[in-house]
Amino acid sequence: MAEPLIELRDVSKRFVKTLDLAEKIVNLAGGSLREEVVHAVDQVNLYVDEGEVVGLVGESGCGKSTLGRVIAGIHAASDGALFYRGTDVTGLSPEEAKEWGLDVQMIFQDPMSSLNPRMRVRDIIGEAPVVHGIIKAGEMDDYVDDMLLRVGLDPLFKRRYPHQFSGGQRQRIGIARALAVRPGFLVCDEAIAALDVSIQAQVINLFSDLREDLNLTYLFISHDLGVVEHLSDRVVIMYLGRVVESAPTEELFDKPNHPYTTALLAEVPRIENRGRKFMPIKGEIPSPIDPPSGCHFHPRCPHAMPRCQAEQPVLREIAPGRFSACHLNNEA
Partner 1 sequence: MEDETPTLAVEDLKTHFFTKLGVAEAVNGVSFTVKKGEVVGLVGESGSGKSVTGFSIIGLVDHPGRVVEGKILFKGEDLAQADDDRMRSLRGRRIAMIFQDPMMTLNPVLRIDTQMIEAVQAHEQVSEKEARETARDALVQVGIPSPDERLKSYPHQFSGGMRQRVAIATALLHKPDLIIADEPTTALDVTIQGQILHEVQKLCRETGMSLIWITHDLSVVAGLADRICVMYAGQIVERGEISDVLDHPLHPYTNGLIGSVPSHNRRGQPLAQIPGMTPSLLNLPEGCAFHPRCPRADGACFVQPQVTEPAKLGHEVRCVHPHLEQA
Task: Give the interface with Mg ion as residue ranges (CB under 5 A).
Answer: 65, 109, 166-167
Site string for ligand ATP, 13-32 (x = CB under 6 A): --x-----------------
Question: Site residues for ligand SF4, window 243-302 (CB under 6 A)?
Answer: 258-259, 295, 297-298, 301
Which window, 88-96, 166-174, 292-300, 315-323, contacts ligand ATP (CB under 6 A)?
166-174
Fill in the amino acid letter for 151: V
DSSP string, 282-309: PSPPPBTTBPPSSSTTGGG-TT--HHHH
Q: What contacts 149, CB < 8 A, 6 or more positions away?
A: 155
Rounded to an integer, what distance in angstroms lies between the CA atom of residue 252 and that of residue 33? Answer: 43
For residues 135 and 193, which CB has a smaller minimum distance to partner 1 in the complex?
A: 193
E strands along the chain, which residues?
6-17, 36-48, 53-58, 79-84, 87-88, 104-107, 185-189, 217-221, 234-239, 242-248, 316-319, 322-324
Cβ atoms of 70 and 13 within 8 Å: the answer is yes
Site string for partner 1, 29-68 (x = CB under 8 A): -------x-x------------------xxxxx--xxx--
For residues 97 and 115, which CB has a smaller minimum distance to partner 1 in the complex?
A: 115
List, in sequence order, every residue forming a beta bridge with 243; answer none if it has no partner.
Answer: 238
Cβ atoms of 5 and 102 within 8 Å: the answer is no
With CB cut-offs between 5 and 8 Å by kind, which of partner 1, ligand ATP, ligand SF4, none does residue 110 bind?
A: partner 1
Question: Site residues for partner 1, window 65-84 (CB under 8 A)?
Answer: 65-66
Residues that bind ligand SF4 (CB under 6 A): 258-259, 295, 297-298, 301, 303-304, 308, 313, 326-328
Residues that bind ligand ATP (CB under 6 A): 15, 38, 40, 58, 60-66, 109, 164-169, 196, 288
